[in-house]
Structure 1
Amino acid sequence: MNASQVAGEEAPQSGHSVKVVLVGDGGCGKTSLMMVFAKGAFPESYSPTVFERYNATLQMKGKPVHLQIWDTAGQDDYDRLRPLFYPDANVLLLCFDVTNPNSFDNVSNRWYPEVTHFCKGVPIIVVGCKIDLRKDKVLVNNLRKKRLEPVTYHRVGRKLGNLWILPHCARCVAHGGLGGCQQSGRGSTWKQNPECSRRL
Structure 2
Amino acid sequence: MATTTTPMTETPPATDKPLRKKSKRKLIERLDAFISKLSTRSNFWHRVCSMIWLPYAARSGIYMKRLDPRTFTAVLPFKRFNRNWYNAMAGAALLGNTEIAGGMYVFGFCGADYTVVCKELQYKFLRPCFGPAVYRIDPKDDIEALVKAGGEFNIELIMNVTQKVRKPGDPEKRVGRAKITFHVTPKAHQRERGRLK
- TM-score tier by shorter-chain length is under 0.3
Q: Which has the higher helix share?
A: 2
TM-score (norm 1): 0.26
Comparing both chains, which one has the higher relative contact order based on Cα–Cα distances under 8 Å and sequence gaps of 6 or more? Answer: 1
TM-score, normalisation: structure 2 = 0.26
